[in-house]
Structure 1
């Protein structure tokens, strides 16, 4: 009983410590107001090289365009899912970057009313003989207008979890992922031309972890313990990070299009653009749910693999022999290709049968997910298997046959030109002589299993 109790306690502690960062920082007292948290992009914006001259920008309204209300399990909520302060967040990001001089446009009516009051008051003082009162200088006008907003908020794009319970000890974890999308564009106030548009998405993660113990530790002594916590990524911080990423993209893509430039010179401009385009290219090759894509245009493929061959013939005691494969594939398009393999191998069967054979295979190959990092392939076709060397018998026996085969491989693409793969094949002979014995009505067949390396060119 004590042993079970100790094991239960260890499992219980392990579940808690798996995410101890959040668990050991639970709120136990009142917190004072503090400066708002930074995101991963906040420091990058502040550390960016400064422009030769800041761009005067106006933001009239950068709002939530989704109209989405907060998602709750029961009932309805009139609280919006996204912060309505997008203009304030964007203004802060523009200010932090140092690339823009932001002019007030969101509450322009208030500003104009206050200026009218000041000018009227000064005019009255001048009429009373106070000549020191002068009219206010004209307002600073914007060279570009920044428009856009949060255009989508998708709830529960991915949910899941896991749990287990054994003898009253259990734990569970759940997660939910939401997604928001931000568009930001710069518009020239001179001619109304849209200078640049950027698009940024950000996922929002919520996690819940719980652990419980419900067990009789002694006669009429029941121990019941339950704990857990939930961590929800703040939506406001997610909106802030997405907007800051959009501002970064707007600045660097503007440098690339020569709309503006840094004060550090052409070398720094090129370095910023190259790094940004590399990151952008990697992100554009990643689909929803983190599926990484490849940018492969090669039509030729060679592979080398090794593994085992298992003969299923008329002899008993089936044993694995070796198998090697050298293959070439010509892809007609990204999904369909023609494949030719040369396959030396050894069959081992019965008490003493051991023979080396070779096979030539011609296959049609189909790639199910040609652009994914993990891509399964199906193939099938016809071939020939024949004698290679004889070791145990001096008489030359006809151990050859035409055949058909089918198989499947799973590729893990290391890059656009290299891949590791594992494969399994079933080869169906048209004859009954692969093991040197012709017996019964069933033809001989064999399996090949192995792994190897591919090169695309």
Structure 2
């Protein structure tokens, strides 16, 4: 027993160490200030330069959600979203190399300082020449918008295992932040472009513990773990970076601003944008990509165990296999299938015989666009003795799971219940209930 416990503990700690890189970088000492982290967004227009930069001003880009930081117990007055949205947006506009940014958030401070300069120069000037300052730049475009939503706990979950006081668990939570950005022309007030982008924020926690009596009145306790939270400020920065990229991209496509390189660059930007938009349209909430992965036709081969539920006792599991052809309908949630197979039925020491099976089913795929999908099916068929001397009608239904290794190959497992039209399959008629068969199968699908 001690060896088993030690082995389980080693596996749990190995899972902990391998699954969490932050465990090896625990903050045990103070660190110095550093240059701010870069976001993970890769801009599709980073290497494309404009013919001429647009002068833009940002008066206000703030948190419009009113969302407070979520806590498990009690309440908090700390906001969930960083309040420095204008500063982050100005940084993103500057890093894009497409815009010249000017001060507008605290324009009163700038005007006051310019007035101080004029007064000081006039007072201490040796002549009566008028004091001149460079004129202020005016904005061609005003950038407005804000953080419009912060959705907490859009998905939560976890898992755990405990055996004889040895256990491990992990938990996760995902939030979602959404920003809107619009460009307004200062010439006529027209809204030139309106875009939005979203970013998820992930929090993870993983732990392992041991609680055992190693001897009389001697208790051993050990616990370790780590929690990692994605910084909300970086999530806001990444969402704003993406919104600025979309603003530039859609502006190029609509002719609002011109890139250096002419029509060839415009065509390239348009092509990349259409591919990204197509992928975004196919990706639903929780980052689930709605892609038709499975071919219209498939061949399925499965093998497993069959068990009779008849009039004899001591029913045993025996070998069986099936071959099936399946055709997906226009709506990939639904399919029709035809199959044949062979199985053996046995009651230990009493009955044993081989049968040939055929079936036609109507199937329903619960998640047809995902790699992993549960499915349900029901249909009719027949069961014949090996020499085809007797054939019986049956009704069957079942439940299964499928996981796609590639778009052509998938692994399946299913359980099926067959209800026959006869009570004499096992050569014994007793009672009013018809004979029944349970099938458990695992196999592989090939789509084409």
Q: Same fold (TM over 0.5)?
A: yes
CA distance in structure 1 between the aligned counterparts of 2:298 and 2:32, rounded to whole angstroms: 63
* Alpha-carbon separation, structure 1, partners of 2:7 and 2:384: 59
Q: Is the 8 A contact 1:294 1:416 kept in 2?
A: no
User: How far apart are 1:306 and its partner, in Å?
Assistant: 1.8
Provide closer, same or farther for how the CA distance between residues 423 and 270 of structure 1 changes in structure 2, counting only shifts above 3 A: farther
Q: Distance in 2 between matches of 1:92 and 1:160?
A: 35
Report the CA distance between 1:378 and its aligned residue. Answer: 2.4
Q: How many Å separate the matches in 2 of 1:344 and 1:166?
A: 41
Aligned counterpart, 1:393: none
C-alpha deviation, 1:399, in angstroms: 1.7
Distance in 1, Cα, partners of 2:320 & 2:408: 31
Which residue of the other structure, out of 363, 366, 370, is the alignment partner of 2:364?
A: 366
* Counterparts of 1:76 and 1:99, CA distance in 2: 43
Residue equivalent to 2:278: 281
- Within 5 Å, which residues of 2 pair with 1:215-226? 224-226=221-223
C-alpha contact (below 8 Å) 1:294/1:373 kept by paired residues = no
TM-score, normalization by structure 2: 0.80
- SS of the residue 1:138 aligns to: coil
Distance 1:138 1:295, change over 3 A: farther
Q: CA deviation at 1:84?
A: 0.9
Give the paired residue count. 440
CA contact (8 A) 1:305 1:450 kept: no
Q: Does 1:136 align with 2:133?
A: yes
Where in structure 2 are the equivalents of 1:45-444 lying within 5 Å?
Answer: 47-119=46-118, 129-131=127-129, 133=130, 135-166=132-163, 169-214=166-211, 224-294=221-291, 301-308=296-303, 310=306, 312=308, 319-331=318-330, 333=331, 335=333, 339-345=336-342, 357=356, 359=358, 361=360, 363-384=361-382, 390=387, 398-412=389-403, 421-431=412-422, 437=427, 439-440=429-430, 443-444=434-435
RMSD across aligned positions (CA): 4.0
Q: Secondary structure of 1:24's match? A: helix
Deviation for aligned residue 1:200:
1.8
Cα gap change, 1:304/1:143 in structure 2, threshold over 3 Å: closer, same or farther?
same
Shift of the alpha carbon at 1:97?
1.1
Over 3 Å counting, the alpha-carbon distance change for 1:61 and 1:423 in structure 2 is same
Supply the distance in 2 between the matched residues of 1:228 and 1:87 (Cα, whole angstroms): 37
